[in-house]
Structure 1
Amino acid sequence: MKNIKKKRYSQILISSLILFIGILSQACDDNPDKYVITDGIPEVYYIRVPNPESADSLLVAAYMNNTIALIGENLTSIKEMWFNDKKAILNSSFITYNTLLVNVPNEIPSVVSNKIYMITKNNDTIAYDFSVLVPAPIVSSISCEYAHDGDIATLYGDYFIDDPNVPLTISMAGNISVTEIISIEKTKIVFKIPNGSQKGYINVKSIYGTGRSKFQFRDDRGIILDWDTKDASGGWRAGKIANSNPEGISGNYVYFSGALKGDLSTWDEDNFSFNLWGIANGRPEGDLFAIPVDQAQLKFEVNVTQPWSACALQMIFTPWSTKDTNGYIADGVTPRGLWRPWESSGSYQTDGWITVSFPLKDFKYDHTGKALQVAGTGNYGGLTFFVYHGGIAGTDCTPYICIDNIRVVPIE
């Protein structure tokens, strides 16, 4: 009897391996006609991860959207499967008599029973003990990292769950609690910045745990330009500076304004650019930051008070020694980041100051939007912003674009 049972489990494992290889090669034929629901009652011996190399890793719980493998007998008799009160999607290509692969539903259960329910062709329901794990909150970004005390801000992320018995809470750096939460959705929270808020990480706590923000609120690391203590003087254009109308987010800011043509013909450096040349500005020789490029992102605050619908904000790093030239702006070989926030809707305007970010690994385009090879290290000693071209035609406009706190910080 022992040898018979051992042989049966070996056959199941071989069947699982064959099925998994089919998934990896994507060679399965997703044809429902080839999957015939059989009679009888399914029996689940155990649940494991799909990888046959980890077949000994048995599971009693899994996170939402994870793929799991049920091992047993007569699994082709299952016509529906539910995790708590959420229905799973069954793929006929991933079901055999002994093996069934399924993704845990990516919905948070409303009624938690910690069971899988298997419904058969004959409408029998078989329960199996299994828990669906919900991640702690993921706090990805905030509408404005430099929001003032009393401002309304929005946190973006996922798994923001406000359980009636364990209400969701937010705490700013220094353990300062948020006392006014305006609305909570699964992927965003609107709240008022509390008085006394400080620089640092934001924590969101739910019934499923605590998540720390992937950014620092009021982050002053890696500041390159703030137009209070660090400016772009020494370049051909230092940028137009203001601190009111609109009110600055943290002192002075640079602004771009004037007429832009939608046909990509605009060239207006006086009104739409600044050049920070490291050597001419008196910056230390070398790069403006010490973070590896593939781990770095450029961030800044922006306030677009008049509609913007043409050209791209071109963000161009140059070597420290670059000066007295603008040839790199349209030379077709100098990589840069491009921002066209109006592209999807045709026009763009913000409701006050917001924070935007760009991974430096995405600084890989020429002035027309053509993809280039990413620049190597040693080419980050200067920085030019210029609203120009971008490769996509727009419509004529007269935007007013305010920018502050340009910084390079780690991607966390």
Structure 2
Amino acid sequence: MTQQNTHVPILINNVRVFAAASTKPEPAASNLPTSNVPTLTAPTSVLIQDRKIAAIGTDNPPEGSVVIEGGGRVLIPGLTDAHVHLFATGTSLAGLTTGATGVGYYNALAAAGQMLMRGFTTVRDMAGDVTSLRQVLDAGTFPGPRIYASQAAISQTSGHGDFSHVYEDANTFTCGAHARAEQIGFLRVADGRDQVLAAVREQLKKGASQIKVMAGGGVSSAYDPLDVLQYTLDELKAAVEAATDWGTYVAAHVYNDEGIRRAIAAGIRSIEHGHLVAGPETVKLMAESGVWLSTQPFLESDHEYPNPENTEKNKQVCEGVANSFKWAREEGANIAFGTDLLLEPEKAGLQNEMLTRLSTHFDFKPGEALRIATSGNAALFRLSGERDPYKAAPLGQITEGAWADVLLVEGDPTQDLTVLGDPDKNLAVIIKDGRIYKNTLDRP
């Protein structure tokens, strides 16, 4: 196994390149024209230089290039995950809220390296103080993916992000007392237009690429049933106004139908979860409004809760997964893939399995699922506009001029997505930002 820490040119010979850059999923029809199905190129070569894809089809690499013989394997863009929590992936709830702050940073650094070695070269972090982590990873000091940071997720009192004790007064009455989750920058409780404006601007000040608000009830939180609405329309509009002034967008945590519609009316661009959408009419409204469904292929076993209330909420959410995918495909909505794994470190490795479920459980063709997890997610990330830390080059595709984030795969994931479920075995080469982080082909 090789880790190459300098940006020397890399030539990858004799590979079939995944050629797909569309952002929308195909309809769930069986008579799709061949031209709409993501394909592989004929065997070719890919030259990486100065952190980007320099040329495709060249046989004249610069002097001193590292040459990788692909042997006819499949070369795909690095995988992406549209909903992660780096500061909560490698630790439990008790560890996050009671442990020393420094431990959280070390756990996040370790989680980032593990994600990269699973093939995830770009992630969108949807709650956590990760801007400094992003800067360290971008510098190549430690291994890890590119990060689109939301910083602290913003919640109303009694909302999905309120982890204060029930006997404590609301922040607005106590003039500055904050729960531990707020102290470490994971969440921010704000009520009313003025506080929401300040909370959004605070995250932008800290380097957020996009903003996340809580617009409906949650599974893991203590005080909010799934059916409740969170934030008034005016409060949500305030968040959108503040983000728009900075050239970026707002994503909203929400499961229920009415909350989704309120978020759309406020100008929110991405619905995180959406599993309890009531029918195709709301998904059609999302499609017509250009609003993304950033969702997760959950199974009940993905999360475990210590009490029956949260367990029942988890069951309700998981029962809605199949319908939300089905209606999104039928109505032509933009679908993003994410995992939302957190607070159960032993389950972090489910990230790859959850990707494969798009094909094994939810009827996506393997190539279409792969497109969603590469160029599809990248199109959502690009909504960050002027706050996009990686706007200098295309992302999530293998084209000349794109960022050099690529994986060389044993097997053909366009025919069998499950090969990506075992990254240790089936990812022969991992390259991110033009650096080699794994290469099993250099072994004798």
TM-score, length-normalised on structure 2?
0.28
Higher RCO (Cα < 8 Å, 6 or more apart): 2
More strand by share: 1
TM-score, length-normalised on structure 1?
0.29
